[in-house]
Amino acid sequence: MDPDELIGWFDECGRDLPWRDPDVTAWQILVSEFMLQQTPVARVLPIWLDWVARWPTPSATAAAGPAEVLRAWGKLGYPRRAKWLHECAAVIAAEHDDVVPDDVDTLLGLPGIGSYTARAVSCFAYRRAVPVVDTNVRRVLTRAIEGRAEPGSPSARDEALAARLLPDDSRAPRFSAALMELGALVCAARSPKCEICPLSECAWRAAGFPPSDAPRKRVQRYAGTDRQVRGRLLDVLRGSSSAVPRAQLDLAWTTDPAQRDRALDSLLVDGLVEQTSDGRFALCGEGGE
Ligand code: SF4
């Protein structure tokens, strides 16, 4: 894969996203990576802008209450990420002089940071030449290099392949960003736009686009899932400045009381919700009134 071909396309066609601005700090990039893990760019944009204006540093974030952070997370989904981000801010403020670490191993020791986020922060915030492999990158590499339609389960091979292709000079971070962008904008899962792809060599295209032999993945639904019920319960608590009685939460999901109980239990176990001494419910940090 020719790095200049890919980077040239990215220079011209990459999205002008605010967390790619050269003035953005490592902390603000880390916040964007937490948010983007499971939520599309369009939904992250307004929340990220408000977030970094309000809490521009780890210490500012750590000083906020956990309920405030959960409210600011809004409807980005998977709210455990907000709790982890808050915990991560506290550790960086207390143990790293309010500076996001730059190396992958130290980043991996922080709350809520896995392999992808550690590498993304090291690469995009500090321009370290480490491979950054998300779903989009895996798909592009599987098609362009291995000639198959869809990647298999994530494995260490993905990072090894990305590392092999990474230019060993200052182009490495831009190459990684370009590879992700190509997967997001052009080499899409369902309908790759091969006619506008900047890669002059693609093994899957050269082989005539052989179909995937993997079983078709079921599209993940949201309606009716425990995730939706958890979201409804959190909406009630986010909208209230004080603890609410159980009956008020019960109204948030009347379809299946057992599912509602299970969702509430899981929010308590995750530490996103807490119970007051008189049996009412509140967002974490607000149950001790
Ligand atoms: S030619 Fe098509 S399949 Fe190959 S990398 Fe480009 S968009 Fe993906």
Mutate to test the pocket of ligand 1, among 137, 191, 202, 212 (most ligand atoms within 8 A of CB): 202
Tell me how far CA of residue 134 lies from CA of 73, 120, 162, 179, 278, in angstroms.
Answer: 22, 9, 11, 10, 45
pTM, full prediction: 0.89
Burial 47-84 (b: 16+ CB within 10 A, else e): bbeebbeebebbbebbebebbbbbbbbbebbbbebbbb
Domain that holds residue 256: 226-283
Q: Which amino acid is at 137?
A: V
Is 249 within a domain?
Answer: yes
Ligand 1 atom closest to Cα of residue 140: 5
pLDDT at 154: 82
pLDDT above 60 (res 289): no
Structural domain contains residue 251: yes
Q: Is 108 inside a domain boundary?
A: no
Neighbours of 196 (CB within 10 A): 10
Q: What percent of the chain has pLDDT over 70?
A: 99
Instruction: Supply the CATH number for residue 251's domain.
Output: 1.10.10
Q: What is the pLDDT of residues 174-209, one digit of tens each?
A: 999 999 999 999 999 989 999 999 999 999 999 999
- Provide the residue count of the chain: 289
Query: Which member of 33, 159, 274, 286 is catalytic?
Result: 33
- What angle, 0 to 180 degrees and rounded to 10, lies between the N-to-C axes of helices 135-144 and 172-185? 90
What is the tens place of the pLDDT at every residue in 99-156?
999 999 999 999 999 999 999 999 999 999 999 999 999 999 999 999 999 988 888 8
Q: List pLDDT tens digits, range 215-231.
A: 777 767 888 889 999 99
Within a domain: residue 174?
Answer: no
User: In the block, which residue shows the tokens 């980005």?
Assistant: 76
Q: In the prediction, which pLDDT does 286 show?
A: 87
Helix axes 41-54, 26-36, angle to 10 degrees: 140
Distance 200 CA to ligand 1 centre (A): 9
Determine contact, residues 237/273, Cβ cutoff 8 Å: yes
Is the CB of 9 inside a 6 Å radius of any atom of ligand 1?
no
Choose among 213, 176, 212, 207: nearest CA to 194: 207
Cα torsion 180, 181, 187, 189 to 10°: value is 70
How many domains does one find in the chain?
A: 1
* Residue 214 covered by a domain: no
- Collapse the DSSP code of 106 into the 3-class scheme (helix H, G, I; strand E, B; otherwise coil) and give the result: helix
Tally of CA atoms within 13 A in the half-sphere of 140 that contains its CB: 30
Residue 192, ligand 1, Cβ within 6 A: yes
Does ligand 1 lie within 6 Å of residue 202's CB atom? yes
Q: In angstroms, rounded to a whole number, what is the distance separating the alpha carbons of residues 183 and 141?
A: 9
**Mean pLDDT value across the chain:** 93
Tell me the CA end-to-end span of the chain in Å, nearest whole number: 59
Q: Closest residue (by CA) to atom 8 of ligand 1?
A: 187
Structural domain contains residue 124: no
55 within some domain: no
Q: Which of 115, 128, 140 has the alpha carbon at shortest distance from 173?
A: 128
For the CA of 193, the closest atom of ligand 1 is: 7
Mutate which of 10, 135, 142, 194 to test ligand 1's pocket (most atoms within 8 Å of Cβ)?
194
Residue 142 lies in a domain: no
